[in-house]
Amino acid sequence: MESCSTAVSRTPAAFLLLHLGLISSMAHQNEFQTGLAGGEVTLNCTGILPDSKLPQETVVRWKYYDTTLWRMEKGTPWKTSAFITDRFDIKMQYKQLWVQNLKLSDAGIYTCEYGSHKVRTSLHIFKLMISLDGHFLQNEVPELILMQNSSSPLPDLRITLFDSNNNRVTPEFQNKSRQKYVVNLKKLEAMDSGTWVCQVHSDSPLIDQNIPFAVKVLGFQNPDLERKYATVDSTVILSWRLNSQQIKWKEGFTGQVNWKQEKSANPHELLDFNVTEQGQLHETKKSSNFLFEIPERKPESTIEVKLPKVHFNYSGQYQCQLEYQGRHVQSKIELVVMKVSAKPVGPLSRGANMTLTCQVSGPLPPNAYLRWERVNGTKKDIKNSEQNEFKLEVNISAAGLWSCHLIEDSDRKISFHYHVEEAAVWTNYVIIGASVGGSLLVFALGCLCIISGTSWQRRRQRAKRMAQARQYLLENKMCQCQHRLKK
Ligand SMILES: *[C@@H]1O[C@H](CO)[C@@H](O)[C@H](O)[C@H]1NC(C)=O
Ligand SMILES: *[C@@H]1O[C@H](CO)[C@@H](O)[C@H](O)[C@H]1NC(C)=O
Ligand SMILES: *[C@@H]1O[C@H](CO)[C@@H](O)[C@H](O)[C@H]1NC(C)=O
Ligand SMILES: *[C@@H]1O[C@H](CO)[C@@H](O)[C@H](O)[C@H]1NC(C)=O
Ligand SMILES: *[C@@H]1O[C@H](CO)[C@@H](O)[C@H](O)[C@H]1NC(C)=O
Ligand SMILES: *[C@@H]1O[C@H](CO)[C@@H](O)[C@H](O)[C@H]1NC(C)=O
Ligand SMILES: *[C@@H]1O[C@H](CO)[C@@H](O)[C@H](O)[C@H]1NC(C)=O
Ligand SMILES: *[C@@H]1O[C@H](CO)[C@@H](O)[C@H](O)[C@H]1NC(C)=O
């Protein structure tokens, strides 16, 4: 008041009326503020002098509608029973009302009176709730509920949602009233973890409020279904990478790994595991008649099953399942095993035929097929399987290195090499072992002890071919070679 009267005294008469008008409108000031349930607000007593300059005789009062919450007379503050001491406070410097841990019912009109001034603040409260406390499993669809409360008629809100990557999500409104908006978000993926934002807009009153909320999605970094190919007797590691560490999931959960040979077969439990709230993984082997190991050293938050020497009949579906509060999510790896056989086995005599069979353990996807070919052979040594065939036979009459490839989308996924020697008398052989990238490859290669009567020339050619074959095998390190030997 004082500042206004000094201002008036210095104002020319022509402006006095206008200024009085301003004073009276300032004396009843209307403010609008929004708050978020669980959060806090500071309501201003706009225009009040700081504590040190406020005249002693000024009476200051805070009211909620007509109920007095707090007042100060002759410099002494008083709290009424309506002043909830654990949530309300007065910031003395500017007599602001501070409300924390807001509730929907805190909405309404708060008035600060000092002298003849009245500052009315309409407090509009939003409350955002997310289902399951924001803790989801992959593929679940969260439900979001937005509520609002105010002293005035509730506005029609425009709600926009942004996911953790700041992409707009089109919400699906389940039910909508002005008090309560129920929204279904999208089906979650593991990478949707993070802070989402609910943007609330209204034109009248003008509201633009961003409400952040946390979403945690526990799941796999693998796709839902992976296909893995292996040659028989090779070492296979099936691994499922959990995202619990990345998203700082602080709850315990359990899980298991099952194997099913065919879709209809009974699942066979291989191991179960649990992860504590601190993120420690404990695994327990469940199966004794299935030859597998749990690798000791592996990346954190990874579930692994190692098949040290995969059998043809170990193909099928390996499923890792997570369980949290009675809900489940799973990720599957389909293991396809390839084997090769020859009939008759052994070196090929001149003019004779041999049937080579390449077989995979299960049906292939539509974009995949098998191919037999002879290394450095001609076009007529190539044979492809038909769609949906999982066995490919060739009748061969030429010795050499034959390869069966599994080709998916024109990528060679795996290859099996079979070395067909020309018949001769064999008296000796050596086994060459090579360790490549931790996996042991054993090449059994025929050696050269030739019966008398064979020319040196022929022997040299044979030695050259053997060296070429050995070179080829070493260059194709991921492959396995099988070679039948004749004593
Ligand atoms: C309250 O007053 C402070 C200080 O004058 C100002 O910075 C703030 O923006 C005001 N808040 C509102 C909601 O008007
Ligand atoms: C909305 O606020 C009023 C006070 O303004 C209160 O009486 C009412 O209970 C609140 N509604 C809800 C749903 O909390
Ligand atoms: C929608 O909300 C209204 C009012 O809250 C309620 O009466 C009605 O049953 C709800 N409908 C559905 C389908 O949930
Ligand atoms: C987790 O697994 C370990 C080892 O198998 C077991 O001792 C422990 O009781 C399990 N904890 C829970 C909560 O299942
Ligand atoms: C798979 O085949 C191997 C021989 O190759 C046999 O010993 C084993 O019992 C078979 N396992 C199953 C589960 O059929
Ligand atoms: C070998 O196969 C070819 C064609 O596949 C056939 O013409 C020939 O008769 C076969 N020879 C023998 C000995 O089976
Ligand atoms: C390969 O030969 C066998 C016996 O000689 C014959 O039964 C079979 O049909 C032949 N297969 C192909 C693909 O030519
Ligand atoms: C195929 O031919 C290439 C080039 O002539 C040669 O380097 C390679 O050793 C041959 N491979 C086999 C298995 O004969």
**DSSP string across 380-426:** GG-EEPPTT--EEEEEE---EEEEEEEEETTEEEEEEEEEEPBP---
pLDDT of residue 428: 39
Of all ligands present, the nearest one to the C-alpha of 372 is: 7
- Closest ligand 4 atom to 283 CA: 5
- At residue 291, the pLDDT reads 86
Ligand 3: distance of its center to the CA of 156 in Å? 17
Q: Three-class SS of residue 85?
A: coil
Buried b / exposed e over 168-205, threshold 16 CB at 10 Å, is ebebeeeeeeeeebbbebeebebbbbeebebebebeee
Residue-level pLDDT at 440:
33
Ligand 2 contacts (CB < 6 A) are: 104-105, 107-108, 149, 151
Question: Does residue 291 have its Cβ closer than 6 Å to ligand 5?
Answer: no
Whether the CB-CB separation of 234 and 335 falls below 8 Å is answered with no
User: Which residue's CA is the nearest one to ligand 6's atom 2?
Assistant: 353
Nearest-CA residue for ligand 3 atom 14 is 175
- Residue located nearest, by CA, to atom 14 of ligand 1: 44
What pLDDT is stored for residue 262 in this prediction? 82
Q: How far is the CA of 289 from the centre of ligand 4 (A)?
A: 23
Q: What is the mean pLDDT of each run of 10 residues along the chain (487 residues)?
A: 32 38 63 96 96 93 97 94 95 97 97 95 97 96 96 94 94 85 93 96 95 96 90 95 93 96 87 94 89 89 94 94 96 95 88 93 89 91 90 92 93 93 57 34 33 45 65 49 33
Return the pLDDT at 423.
80
Diameter of the chain measured on Cα atoms: 136
Minimum-distance ligand 8 atom for the alpha carbon of 472: 13
Domains annotated for the chain, with CATH where assigned, are 2-125 (2.60.40.10), 126-218 (2.60.40.10), 225-335 (2.60.40.10), 344-482 (2.60.40.10)
**What pLDDT was estimated at residue 475?**
54
> Are the beta carbons of 372 and 382 closer than 8 angstroms?
yes
Could you tell which of 33, 105, 109 is best to mutate to test the pocket of ligand 2, judged by most ligand atoms within 8 Å of the CB?
105
The pLDDT, as a whole number, for residue 462 is 64
Q: Whose CA is nearest to atom 7 of ligand 5?
A: 311
Q: Is 353 in the pocket of ligand 6 (CB under 6 A)?
A: yes
Residue 316 CA, ligand 4 centroid: distance in Å: 28
pLDDT at 422: 86
Closest CA to ligand 3's atom 11: 175
pLDDT for 380 equals 86
Residue whose CB lies within 8 A of the most ligand 2 atoms, among 33, 104, 125, 150, for a mutation test: 104
- Cα 403 to middle of ligand 6, angstroms: 20
Closest CA to 300 of 236, 249, 243: 243
**What pLDDT score was predicted for residue 269?**
94
| CA angle centred on 43, ends 21 and 116, rounded to 5° | 35
> Is 367 near ligand 7, meaning CB less than 6 Å away?
no
Q: Tell me whether strands 302-307 and 236-241 are parallel, antiparallel or unpaired.
A: antiparallel
Query: Crossing angle, helix 2-9 and helix 16-27, to 10 degrees?
Result: 170
Is the shortest distance between the CB of 160 and ligand 1 below 6 Å?
no
DSSP-assigned beta bridge partners for residue 34: 124
Q: Which ligand is nearest to the CA of 350?
A: 6
Nearest CA to ligand 6 atom 14: 353
Q: What is the pLDDT of residue 238?
A: 96
Cα of 483 from ligand 6 centre, angstroms = 23
Pocket of ligand 4 (CB under 6 A): 274, 282, 284
pLDDT at residue number 247: 93
Q: What was the pLDDT predicted at 465?
A: 67
* Pocket lining: 33 vs ligand 1, CB cutoff 6 Å: yes
Whose CA is closest to 140, among 274, 322, 334?
322
- What b/e string do you get for 363-377 counting C-beta neighbours within 10 Å, with b at 16 or more? ebeeebbbbbbbeeb
> Is 397 touching ligand 6 by the criterion CB < 6 Å?
yes
Q: Is 122 in the pocket of ligand 1 (CB under 6 A)?
A: no
147 token code pair: 């509520």
Residue 378: the pLDDT is 86
